[in-house]
Structure 1
């Protein structure tokens, strides 16, 4: 069969799709990837065939302007809020709607080109990142089944609907109406790589899938395989904070690295080239690695501290690494809480780490517990075993073929 994969963003929404694309290709199917221009280098770097669709100017500005500026500086939301949208305040509901409208704007930029690609190439199946709304539209226009893949978040965050319910946002319905379709079409199934013990329910049919870490290609440095003389702690802050908040978004990283060094552990700071230019002064003995894929680094680490990105969290989970999560946005907060409930990690509020006068001690205490309490290590190992027990992407390719044949 021909399988068209599509995403709007790189890397956080691209990388989770790559293992399934590889699995389809290895099974003998023809695979093509359609993404916004910024995603094309990552697609090609993964050894896949890319087609650019739409335009992606000012995506960072869209994420940091207007109502969405508040998304990056939130206090704690209600527990398990995707399952209990009734617990959300009107301001929180409106913030979710603003996020959905942003994705609709992105879909508007992509959809005409994507529909044209589908019409020319005639895939049998579309596998779309769940937040790439243009994929759902293109499949509906062509009458082709669409499988939506989650990026690792607990539960299904249906930003395209009002208050995460069943009623579509007007902007989402308009994406379908422009092609003469009366109503949005749900995906045929969801590929879900979140471990079951961290996950929340959903009414949509799901295909549980093992999370296979992919954070781009890279080289393992010689020091990584050397026996560590002290505990090694990875500190990473994703890519969104620096893009949206600049150097100020990396300030908590300095406090965290200082706490790691104060415990006698070895801090390893994993950053992009752009982030490295923004790094504050760090303690002596800190090792900084640039653009090193986490799947190459984390097997050599005893713990990780990060901002709560799903790809980072599930990569650490796959390798049984205890985690300290310091989230600032609602989705990472949700993930951090679900991870902490398994015992495989701890969480501290971002505003505490960034501004509380006792932050250094709170961070040090949490890290000390991760490094010395065997309960955290045991829980992290159990989470890795749970992930490994899920069907691999290769095992799910026949299920995708069956959906395409309907």
Structure 2
């Protein structure tokens, strides 16, 4: 059969799907991956065939100054009150309403060429199955327009379906309060109607979803889920010689994410504090940090090797522990390598706060629509800067899961001193109980079906759901 993947043009969105694309390709199926034209080189390097959308000379949609901005806190909280959400549920809602609706809006716009080009390709190529990134909703429209079956590939806890279920439960309350019944559907509807279809539940959430989250990190939803193992892929690179031999002392990986380094200087002051903490420890630290993340660091300790990029699937098998930002891809790589994890999580709310600043400045820990270091630094039209929480979107569910399995610890660079962070790292690298916890996480990870294992299920579901 023919399988079309559609992904947001980001490694954090593309890399999770690569092993599944390989599994289908290895089983004899034709596979294509559609994304923004600027992202095609990354797809080719992974050994897959790209379908380029748009003009490669033009920045991707999120870099446009007219890209959707986050919802303001008062609107977020008004919904939360009507939905009667408790504190934990409010964080799920914030992740959906203030964070995820923004990228979802980028590639369903009818005034941009991407969706039309994707539909045109799907109608010409006639895929049997479209597997789409939840933030790349035009994939579902292309599936409908071409008669293909379609499924989402989840990239984290399913905040989208969870929130839709809450909205459905309180529909009358929302109408009475004068609030939109479904903000997600409102974003997709103009594109759906352009191709003669409805922004219904199936279009928004797939005929089923591939769910690579471990059971302890899943949210309860009414969607159909196909559980699978999150096999990590972290890029392709030559294995460096220094990774050949076993390290002479405990090796600790330090990685703080690929996304925040694109628009935050100084890493909220987290990097300097962690490097101070490891300076006196008898460990070797491999820190995958770039110059923006290193801002504010005057002296790098002698036991720290700075490498801007190294694939985690090469590095982690040599490590005794990893310190990371809580991203799902990094978490999965550590699970597969049976490595104890120290997850950076401040425990604060995910709510972004708007602040008015000089548009020519970029403060540490802030985000501005259309801005990215090294890509588009000339944004002057937008004066609203968004102050971010000092943590990754998935940091809390990731750290909660790691702690619940005894596989690591939580690092809070805001409240913990350098001495406390040093003791934390020493404990995780020396106490054998954390290795036992990492083994338990690995066993749970291994119990889930691999991408190759689910290929027969994908074939069966496709035959049931395609409409040609």
TM-score by structure 2 length? 0.75
What is the rounded CA distance, in whole Å, between the counterparts of 1:164 and 1:40 in structure 2? 37
What is the rounded CA distance, in whole Å, between the counterparts of 1:143 and 1:8 in structure 2? 22
> What's the secondary structure of 1:103's corresponding residue?
helix
> Where does residue 338 of structure 1 map in the other structure?
401
Give the 5 Å matches for 1:192-207.
Answer: 192-207=211-226
What is the rounded CA distance, in whole Å, between the counterparts of 1:366 and 1:195 in structure 2? 25
> What's the secondary structure of 2:131's corresponding residue?
strand
Q: 1:267 aligns with which of 272, 280, 285?
A: 285
> Where does residue 457 of structure 2 map in the other structure?
399
Most deviating of 26-35 and 385-394: 385-394
What whole-Å deviation, never above 9, does each CA across 1:86-124 have from its counterpart, x for those lacking one? 546889846632331442133324321111110111100
> What's the secondary structure of 1:405's corresponding residue?
helix
The answer to whether structure 1 residue 122 and structure 2 residue 126 are counterparts is: yes
Structure 1: any 5+ residue segments left out of the alignment?
A: 71-77, 79-83
Contact 1:298 1:321 in 2 (8 A): yes
What whole-Å deviation, never above 9, does each CA across 1:37-73 have from its counterpart, x for those lacking one? 2321211110110011146436257799953799xxx
> Where does residue 16 of structure 2 map in the other structure?
16
Distance 1:40 1:165, change over 3 A: farther
1:275 Cα shift?
Answer: 5.1
Please identify which structure carries the higher helix content.
Answer: 1
Q: 1:365 aligns with which of 416, 419, 423?
A: 423
The answer to whether structure 1 residue 286 and structure 2 residue 287 are counterparts is: no
What whole-Å deviation, never above 9, does each CA across 1:115-151 have from its counterpart, x for those lacking one? 1110111100001122221112221232321111112
> Where does residue 5 of structure 1 map in the other structure?
5
Structure 2: any 5+ residue segments left out of the alignment?
A: 74-79, 169-180, 346-390
> What's the secondary structure of 2:33's corresponding residue?
strand
1:201 Cα shift?
Answer: 2.7
Report the aligned-residue RMSD: 3.0
> Where does residue 359 of structure 2 map in the other structure?
none
Aligned residues: 386
Most deviating of 115-124 and 192-201: 192-201
> Where does residue 179 of structure 1 map in the other structure?
195
Contact 1:194 1:211 in 2 (8 A): yes
What whole-Å deviation, never above 9, does each CA across 1:159-190 have from its counterpart, x for those lacking one? 79568644531223333233222333231221
Contact 1:304 1:316 in 2 (8 A): yes
Distance 1:295 1:95, change over 3 A: closer
What is the rounded CA distance, in whole Å, between the counterparts of 1:60 and 1:271 in structure 2? 23
The answer to whether structure 1 residue 137 and structure 2 residue 141 are counterparts is: yes
What whole-Å deviation, never above 9, does each CA across 1:326-373 have from its counterpart, x for those lacking one? 131443222222222222122233xxx1x44x5212211221221122
Distance 1:69 1:317, change over 3 A: farther
Contact 1:298 1:316 in 2 (8 A): yes
1:305 Cα shift?
Answer: 0.6
What is the rounded CA distance, in whole Å, between the counterparts of 2:65 and 2:397 in structure 1? 23
Contact 2:150 2:208 in 1 (8 A): yes
> Where does residue 37 of structure 2 map in the other structure?
37
Contact 1:268 1:287 in 2 (8 A): yes
What whole-Å deviation, never above 9, does each CA across 1:14-51 have from its counterpart, x for those lacking one? 00000010011100111111011232121111011001
Q: 2:274 aligns with which of 256, 275, 278?
A: 256
Distance 1:160 1:202, change over 3 A: closer
> What's the secondary structure of 1:234's corresponding residue?
strand
What is the rounded CA distance, in whole Å, between the counterparts of 1:204 and 1:116 in structure 2? 28
The answer to whether structure 1 residue 104 and structure 2 residue 105 are counterparts is: yes
